[in-house]
Structure 1
Amino acid sequence: MDELTALASGFLSAEDSDHRVSLAIGSVVTLDGPMPDFDSLLSNLGERIKTCPRFAHRLRSHAFDHDAPEWVDDVDFDVARHVKRLSLPSPGDEHELHRLVAEVMAWRMDRSRPLWEIWVMEGLRDGRWAMLLKVHSCIAHAVTIAHIVAGLSDEGIHLAPGGQLDSARRGEQCDVRPSASSLNPITWMRGLWHVSKDVSRLASAVFDLLPSSATTPLNGPMTNLRRYSAARVSLDDVHQVCRVFDVTVADVALAALTDSYRAYLIRHGHQPSAESLRTLMPDNASAMLALLPVDDADSVGQLRVVHSRLSRARHAGREIGSAANHVPFPVAAWAMRLLTRLPQHSVAAVVTTASGPREPLHIMGRRVAAVTPVPPIAMQLRSGVAVLSYAGDLFFGILADYAAVPDADELARGIESAVRRLVARSKRRNPTRDRKGLSLVVSA
């Protein structure tokens, strides 16, 4: 069977290093009513789950980490064990939905079974209902979550574009790519031949990107409780900003986060500095690190700096992912465990971005009204933000430590306000004055 990549295995190591964290990611799918009969829904989902064969596999680890964990068939697989049912308390509003999502996402999944769950949530206001898709990060990242949601729909997986918000990639699959490490002596000799160069390249890339950030309320020890909130903005508005300032959708999303986090720091009595907020941006193949310009009070200035820094961070992220996957697994596993246990103040938040289906989806004839992502948090990163485009809107999902970030809703509202300010600025600007050699890339 397939082995996990070094980065995917790192998600397991990060979870093992702190019993208070769960490295699951998710998506809240809100649907128009009425909700179908549960048994019919279960049967329907069971058939569509087959589009992602990984959902019938469980993990098998090796003693002493002599090789990467691998996927094997779960001989006792039963979809009914993974699809669960909950009812929201009255009044069934967004606050109650988010509270329940936060509670479910805090629970760890059983590694002796396939690492996914679907929670069917009844009792939403206006006759709506929801499904929370919960998948471990070692199986899927933000892009494949969008594919899985599309695969569960009546329209099918072909509607999911399958890329980052500013990427042209297509055809991402649910499966994790196999790694090459094993205890075969020839493989080990090849690995040892390259290990010095690869470890040096990996360390150089990491230390170049990790000057110490200022201590903020956003990093530190966490509890085992979570808060969840969400924001929603029009993609037409975002595209308006992209056209005028020649930036990407991901740039606009990160600039809006910058503005909201800046307001958060000020509310908590911290003067934002140039080193206050470095973000980790992982996907299934690499991890980028980008320092957000929370020290800049000007929204357009934030946008320009974000665009420049993301361009540089993408290249460095590919180097880190490539180097990690060439190091023999026992070395990579030891390094990942060490890194996840070290106290760190260099990274303050985790952010993921992905493109979802451009057209509305349906499940058993019910329209999918919203698809809101849920990021993971770990390694003393007390907040995470996931960004997903769907059917003409851009959705932001915020997961935060319950005690450390009591105003997650304020972060969400701050994102929406920041986008409104950028739209207003774009309508007052002369596009020819603001291009400054930047390139337009819009794929969401």
Structure 2
Amino acid sequence: MEQLTTLDAGFLEAEDSDPHVSLAIGAVAVLAGPMPDFDSLAADLADRIRAVPRFRQVLHTQPLDLGAPRWADDDAFDVFHHVRRAALPRPGDDEALFRWVAEVMERRLDRERPLWECWVVDGLVHHRWAILMKVHHCIADGVAATRLLTQLADDRGGEIFGTGIHPARPRRSASRLPALPLNPIDWVSLAWRTSRGVTSAATQVVQGALELVDGLLRPAAASSLTGPVTDMRRFAAVEVSLSDVERIGARFGVTVNDVALAAITDSYRTMLLQRGESLAPNSLRTLVPVSVRSSDATGKTDNRVSVMLPYLPVDKADPVEQLKKVHARLTKAKGSGQRQAGNVLLAAANALPFPLTAWTVRALTRLPQRGIVTLATNVPGPRRRIRIAGREVVRLLPVPPLALQLRTGIAILSYADHLAFGIIGDYDAAPDVEEIAGGIRRAITRLTGLASGHWRSTPVGTLALVQGG
């Protein structure tokens, strides 16, 4: 039986610490209709799902957490306990779809069975239908979950945007170690350079660890975005043109992820102002997961992530200044060792006795935390459009979880020529998730206009149309 890592098990502990939390992640694939016969579709999906070992396994926990939970084959496994059918009420528009997605995602998965569900839902507008894949976070991170989703595709997936990802600390093979100099006198120089490199790397990890601890312990500005949550959710999503995002990145010398986070920054700024809240430089410290998955581990079903904790500049009104601040802060965070420190800390935790780490995670997740205000995670999706049961997937929308007293969270997923933002929120504390989605769209539209020269920033941070542009 395969044992869960400390990080994998941590998602179970975080879920157990709050009865109102479900730590499942999801993705909604909207397909061009009409929907095939459900029985034949379910049988086809079942065959593909059986090919994923983790989907046929159940968790075995140890009494008193004396050992880490283990995966074991489920002797009573029945795939049709997990492949289910639903239908949207009329008119079957986005509002109805998003409401249904929120209701499915807010319910916890049954730990007596393999921790996943696959929902087939009919009744969408324009003769469309959808598949919602729901997987517990202890099984997979965003990259691995995307891989699992593409296993349902007719061509069993394809190349995804993250195919060439590299770990935060690439391991150097023996063949790549520096050659030993022939002259023994040069050995001292080599030893000095090597020790300096090791010391520099260690210093970077220590600095990154200190920044992570500071980010977790230093309270952010008071915000309605953190606090207790209910067991009900709201969901909204928005899609933007990936070519527009890339054009913005090329114009201002930033990455796609920078542009996405800048759009999120501007949307949160608008929402917080509408809520009547004051904005400060420390108003929106954001948990940004970072993949440390090497290319040779792309097919592994587990969690391989570290984190960064940047402040998103909601105190800045000008969209270009927001974008430049996001880029500068992400660059600084990447260079500070936060990713490496998170990776090292997780590796060290795996070496500790599991009862100690389980107790620590459970205790920490039950404490009220005020350092992190929201979540923004970016996941690479399929490069080209995929087909399931002969039908084209026309939309692919991510669904993040809520935990740690965060009342909103955003997942970003690239699919073919679009970038999709999925926003989850507590039903009572975040009734404005649709406004967050709308704010992201407006922010990308404005940045696209600025990148093309059709708009310009004014001294007070507003935008004006360039006459004749």
Do the structures match in fold with TM over 0.5?
yes
Q: Distance in 2 between matches of 1:241 and 1:96?
A: 33
Q: Distance in 1 between matches of 2:206 and 2:342?
A: 11
Out of 214, 226, 232, the residue aligned to residue 208 of structure 1 is 214
Q: Which residue of 2 aligns with 1:365?
A: 390
1:310-321 aligned at under 5 Å gives the runs 310-314=330-334, 315-321=337-343
Cα shift readout 1:176-223 (whole Å, capped 9, x = no counterpart): xxxxxxxxxxxxxxxxxxxxxxx9999635323332101111100101
Structure 1's 317 and 336: CA in aligned 2 closer, same or farther, altered over 3 A?
Answer: farther
Indicate yes or no: 2:226 matched with 1:226: no
Shift of 1:318: 3.1
TM-score, normalization: structure 1? 0.86
Out of 257, 280, 283, the residue aligned to residue 264 of structure 2 is 257
Q: Distance in 1 between matches of 2:211 and 2:285?
A: 15
Indicate yes or no: 2:312 matched with 1:305: no
1:92-107 aligned at under 5 Å gives the runs 92-107=92-107
Q: Distance in 2 between matches of 1:309 and 1:333?
A: 32
Q: Which residue of 2 aligns with 1:80?
A: 80
Q: Distance in 2 between matches of 1:239 and 1:216?
A: 32
Out of 450, 457, 460, the residue aligned to residue 425 of structure 1 is 450
What is the RMSD computed on CA atoms of the aligned residues?
2.1
Tell whether the 8 Å contact from 1:162 to 1:169 is kept in structure 2 after alignment.
no
Tell whether the 8 Å contact from 2:242 to 2:417 is kept in structure 1 after alignment.
yes
Q: Distance in 2 between matches of 1:384 and 1:108?
A: 18
Shift of 1:402: 0.4
Structure 1's 72 and 311: CA in aligned 2 closer, same or farther, altered over 3 A?
Answer: farther
Give 2:343's aligned amino acid: G
Shift of 1:299: 1.0
Cα shift readout 1:110-139 (whole Å, capped 9, x = no counterpart): 111111001111100111000111000111
Structure 1's 336 and 205: CA in aligned 2 closer, same or farther, altered over 3 A?
Answer: farther
Tell whether the 8 Å contact from 1:228 to 1:400 is kept in structure 2 after alignment.
yes
Out of 385, 406, 409, the residue aligned to residue 381 of structure 1 is 406
Tell whether the 8 Å contact from 1:13 to 1:337 is kept in structure 2 after alignment.
yes
1:194-205 aligned at under 5 Å gives the runs 204-205=210-211
Tell whether the 8 Å contact from 2:208 to 2:339 is kept in structure 1 after alignment.
no
Out of 406, 420, 428, the residue aligned to residue 395 of structure 1 is 420
Structure 1's 307 and 52: CA in aligned 2 closer, same or farther, altered over 3 A?
Answer: farther
Q: Which residue of 2 aligns with 1:29?
A: 29
Shift of 1:330: 2.5
Q: Distance in 1 between matches of 2:278 and 2:30?
A: 38
For the residue of structure 2 that corresponds to 1:290, the secondary structure is coil
Structure 1's 331 and 159: CA in aligned 2 closer, same or farther, altered over 3 A?
Answer: same
Shift of 1:169: 4.0
Shift of 1:6: 1.6
Q: Which residue of 2 aligns with 1:89?
A: 89
Tell whether the 8 Å contact from 1:202 to 1:324 is kept in structure 2 after alignment.
no
Give 1:148's aligned amino acid: L
Q: Distance in 2 between matches of 1:162 and 1:118?
A: 24
Q: Distance in 2 between matches of 1:202 and 1:161?
A: 27
Tell whether the 8 Å contact from 2:212 to 2:308 is kept in structure 1 after alignment.
no
Cα shift readout 1:262-301 (whole Å, capped 9, x = no counterpart): 1010000012111111111235222222211111111111
For the residue of structure 1 that corresponds to 2:140, the secondary structure is coil
Indicate yes or no: 2:317 matched with 1:292: no
Q: Which residue of 1 aligns with 2:176?
A: none
Shift of 1:16: 0.3
Cα shift readout 1:74-123 (whole Å, capped 9, x = no counterpart): 11111100011111000011100000000000000011111100111110
Cα shift readout 1:142-184 (whole Å, capped 9, x = no counterpart): 1122212211111223333446xxx7349xxxxxxxxxxxxxx
Structure 1's 67 and 60: CA in aligned 2 closer, same or farther, altered over 3 A?
Answer: same
Shift of 1:66: 2.4
Give 1:312's aligned amino acid: K
Task: State how many pairs are aligned.
Answer: 400
Q: Which residue of 1 aligns with 2:60?
A: 60
Out of 244, 248, 256, the residue aligned to residue 241 of structure 1 is 248
Shift of 1:335: 1.8
- Bigger mean CA offset, 298-307 vs 153-162: 153-162
Gaps of 5+ in 2: 168-204, 292-302, 455-469
TM-score, normalization: structure 2? 0.82
Shift of 1:342: 0.8
For the residue of structure 2 that corresponds to 1:303, the secondary structure is helix
Bigger radius of gyration: 2
Shift of 1:317: 3.0
Q: Distance in 2 between matches of 1:206 and 1:331?
A: 21
Gaps of 5+ in 1: 171-198, 430-444
Q: Which residue of 2 aligns with 1:46?
A: 46
- Bigger mean CA offset, 145-154 vs 232-241: 145-154
Q: Distance in 1 between matches of 2:279 and 2:127?
A: 43
Give 1:168's aligned amino acid: I
Q: Which residue of 2 aligns with 1:275?
A: 282
Q: Which residue of 1 aligns with 2:344?
A: 322
Structure 1's 11 and 201: CA in aligned 2 closer, same or farther, altered over 3 A?
Answer: farther
Give 1:248's aligned amino acid: T
